[in-house]
Chain A
Amino acid sequence: MFEHQLSRRRFIVETARAASGVALLGVGLGLYTKESKSLPVYALRPPGVKNEDDFLAACIRCGLCVRDCPYDILKLSKLAEPVALGTPYFEARKIPCEMCEDIPCVKACPTGALNKDLTNIDDARMGLAVIVDQETCLNYQGLRCDVCHRVCPLLNEAITLEPRHNQRSGKHTLFIPVVHSDKCTGCGKCERACVLEEAAIKILPLDLAKGELGRHYRLGWEEKEKAGKSLVTPDTEHKYNLPEGLKYEHEGKGLLKDSR
């Protein structure tokens, strides 16, 4: 009887010991995993990654995308690098994505972590180019650098040059590079090519680079176009209560004597 109790006691203690030890390890690893989910801004994922959370559930860190990248752009994160261990990434400033038409990295991925639905590389959204510094960008100074615009694989679509008056000289035009998020794939060619010591145009993660309107927000002119007419009742014309012999001219002349 006593021995039976002893062995049962031992069993419970041993089980509790194993469970608590492993639970402790689990808590530590879980917290570490949560922490490692944040991707540093300079690290870009290959094409076909929608968001980092889903990617870390799907990527098994096999490196097949790395092997099939014809330009050796992708690398797997090593220990002590701030990117989730063993996962593929690239740095635009070092070597940008060449946007292969057949997207071999996506084809190579066995798990679909790089989503197979991506069949046109122009639909890739690896990030979004943003002019992060207008104070150093040469085009903002009135010079015709234009390099980011010219290297863009979607020339005149993802980055356009918008003319603006040069107030400094008073007689020239600034050609302001403007990135269009509906076209930019985040390949990083512009960031790579920026002639400055530190690039003035950088690829940022989409959620960092984009603002978002409140969901209730409507732009009047868009709604008007959609509906084909104004959605608000037109203002009634203002009526002035003027002394006799005076009238108000709306075209700019203002108060006038009635010439009657």
Chain B
Amino acid sequence: MAANLPEQVGKEAILVKGWWRANKWLLLRRFSQLSILLLFLSGPLLGEGYWIAKGNLTSSLTFEILPLTDPYILLQSFFAGHEIISQAFIGAVIVTVFYFLVGGRVFCSWVCPVNIVTDTADGLRRKFKIKGGARFSSDLRYWILVMTLVLAVVTGSIAWEFINPVSILHRSIIFGFGYAGFVILAIFIFDLLLSRQGWCGHLCPVGAFYSLLGRYSFIRVSAKERDNCDDCMDCFMVCPEKQVIKPALKGADKGIGPVIMDKNCTNCGRCIDVCAKDVFKFSNRFNNDTLLNVSKKKEVAP
């Protein structure tokens, strides 16, 4: 079967699996992103001073007891010359352990509000058949990550926070918008017209940091039924990090297991949604036995 047209992505899955199942993980992610925002707004929403979560994504306190701190910003603070105290450190350890297990870039697709903006841009690119634009290495983000840490040392302050769109958007929603809309509009236009997944997939050092955090994470997407793949290309079309799919999906002949091991897979599950053949499912990194598939293939082949 030939590849589907970009604007047709996911249509087949809806026909085969129904709308809900073909959008299950997307809906769950949006629910997760929005409810996390709502938790931080619980004070005014629930009335007089009752906060479920206080603060924002850089540091928060949930139910007055659970401290969470972004390890990346704490690292920058350390590089800027500030001594880390236990309150922030405990919060950062909890966050680190969590993402170490579930996948670092789960932050990107399940928590970060910028993801909603860039996903929308990507969807509109497909719908309006906007192609091309600037292309640069997706490793650029690691250079930027290093740059932010160097800048912290050189300037003696958390320099990246002066322009970080991730915290700008999240903080703005919670503490008041100001001119933050322009930054978000810039990211949107950049992703829509200048570069596909340009921000999240190529530049964002926050995502880069979390990808390293989840390098060996437990929960992974697996192309378990990769033998059923009919090359419709829908998964490639929707994946925010295209390069992560191929080794797992097409690597059977090379002895590569079906689990997507790339650190930049965001565990967004959109490939699971759009696949009409149910090739993908959530699994874990140890469920990566190639032999199973090879023997299965042998049974079918002759």
A residues within 8 Å of B by Cβ? Answer: 14, 18-19, 21-23, 25-26, 29-30, 32-34, 36-37, 53-54, 56-64, 66-68, 75-76, 78-81, 84-86, 108-113, 116
Cβ-neighbour of B87 out of A29, A54, A110 (below 8 A): A110
Residues in A with CB closer than 8 Å to B172 are: 78-79
Determine how close the nearest CB of chain B comes to the CB of A52; give it in whole angstroms: 9
Expressed in whole angstroms, the Cα–Cα distance for A141 and B22 within the complex equals 79
Expressed in whole angstroms, the Cα–Cα distance for A81 and B51 within the complex equals 27
Contacts known (A22-B147, A26-B150); A56 close to B158, Cβ less than 8 A? yes
Residues in B with CB closer than 8 Å to A60 are: 58-59, 69-70, 73-74, 77, 88, 158, 161
Determine how close the nearest CB of chain A comes to the CB of B82; give it in whole angstroms: 4
| Most B CB within 10 A of own CB, among A86, A109, A112 | A86
Chain B 143-167 near chain A by CB (<8 Å), digits 1 or 0: 1101100111011111111110001
Interchain CB contact under 8 A, B82 and A54: yes
Determine how close the nearest CB of chain A comes to the CB of B280; give it in whole angstroms: 32
The reply on B302 being an interface residue by CB < 8 A is no
Of residues 53 through 96 on chain B, the ones whose CB sits less than 8 Å from some CB of chain A are: 54-56, 58-61, 67, 69-70, 73-74, 77, 80-85, 87-88, 91
Expressed in whole angstroms, the Cα–Cα distance for A23 and B178 within the complex equals 29
Residues in B with CB closer than 8 Å to A56 are: 80, 156-158
Expressed in whole angstroms, the Cα–Cα distance for A33 and B148 within the complex equals 12
Contacts known (A18-B139, A33-B157, A78-B179); A111 close to B171, Cβ less than 8 A? no
Known contacts A29-B162, A56-B157, A78-B177; 13 additional CB pairs below 8 A are A19-B143, A22-B143, A57-B156, A60-B59, A60-B161, A61-B171, A62-B55, A78-B176, A78-B179, A79-B172, A85-B162, A111-B85, A112-B88
Chain B 4-40 near chain A by CB (<8 Å), digits 1 or 0: 0000000000000000000000000000000000000
Among residues of B, the one whose C-beta sits closest to the C-beta of A35 is B162
| Most A CB within 10 A of own CB, among B85, B156, B157, B179 | B157
Residues in A with CB closer than 8 Å to B179 are: 78-80
| Most A CB within 10 A of own CB, among B56, B73, B160, B180 | B56
The reply on B183 being an interface residue by CB < 8 A is yes
The reply on B174 being an interface residue by CB < 8 A is yes
Q: Count residues of chain B with CB under 8 A from any CB of chain A.
A: 58
Interchain CB contact under 8 A, B167 and A61: yes
Interchain CB contact under 8 A, B55 and A67: yes
| Most A CB within 10 A of own CB, among B67, B83, B87 | B87
Interchain CB contact under 8 A, A110 and B156: no
Cβ-neighbour of A30 out of B70, B144, B151 (below 8 A): B151
Interchain CB contact under 8 A, B83 and A112: yes
Determine how close the nearest CB of chain B comes to the CB of A4; give it in whole angstroms: 21
Expressed in whole angstroms, the Cα–Cα distance for A85 and B168 within the complex equals 9
| Most B CB within 10 A of own CB, among A22, A25, A108, A109 | A22
Interchain CB contact under 8 A, B43 and A86: no
Interchain CB contact under 8 A, B174 and A63: yes
Interchain CB contact under 8 A, A18 and B151: no
Interchain CB contact under 8 A, B82 and A111: yes
Among residues of A, the one whose C-beta sits closest to the C-beta of B174 is A63
Interchain CB contact under 8 A, B54 and A68: yes
Interchain CB contact under 8 A, B77 and A81: no
Determine how close the nearest CB of chain B comes to the CB of A43; give it in whole angstroms: 15
Determine how close the nearest CB of chain A comes to the CB of B134; give it in whole angstroms: 11
Determine how close the nearest CB of chain B comes to the CB of A202; give it in whole angstroms: 26
Determine how close the nearest CB of chain A comes to the CB of B60; give it in whole angstroms: 7
Interchain CB contact under 8 A, A63 and B56: yes
Residues in A with CB closer than 8 Å to B159 are: 29-30, 33
Interchain CB contact under 8 A, B55 and A37: no
Interchain CB contact under 8 A, B84 and A111: yes
Among residues of B, the one whose C-beta sits closest to the C-beta of A79 is B179
Residues in A with CB closer than 8 Å to B67 are: 110
Expressed in whole angstroms, the Cα–Cα distance for A29 and B151 within the complex equals 8
Interchain CB contact under 8 A, A79 and B175: no
The reply on B137 being an interface residue by CB < 8 A is yes
Of residues 102 through 143 on chain B, the ones whose CB sits less than 8 Å from some CB of chain A are: 136-137, 139-140, 143
| Most A CB within 10 A of own CB, among B74, B156, B158 | B158
Determine how close the nearest CB of chain B comes to the CB of A103; give it in whole angstroms: 15
Interchain CB contact under 8 A, B143 and A110: no
Expressed in whole angstroms, the Cα–Cα distance for A36 and B56 within the complex equals 22
Interchain CB contact under 8 A, B87 and A111: yes
Determine how close the nearest CB of chain B comes to the CB of A195; give it in whole angstroms: 31
Interchain CB contact under 8 A, A30 and B168: no
Cβ-neighbour of A78 out of B81, B136, B152, B180 (below 8 A): B180
Expressed in whole angstroms, the Cα–Cα distance for A108 and B91 within the complex equals 13
Interchain CB contact under 8 A, B77 and A111: yes
Q: List 29 A-B contacts (CB under 8 A).
A: A14-B137, A18-B136, A18-B137, A19-B143, A22-B143, A26-B147, A26-B151, A37-B157, A53-B156, A60-B58, A60-B69, A60-B158, A62-B55, A62-B69, A63-B54, A66-B175, A79-B172, A79-B178, A79-B179, A84-B162, A86-B171, A110-B55, A110-B59, A110-B69, A111-B59, A111-B69, A112-B87, A112-B88, A113-B82
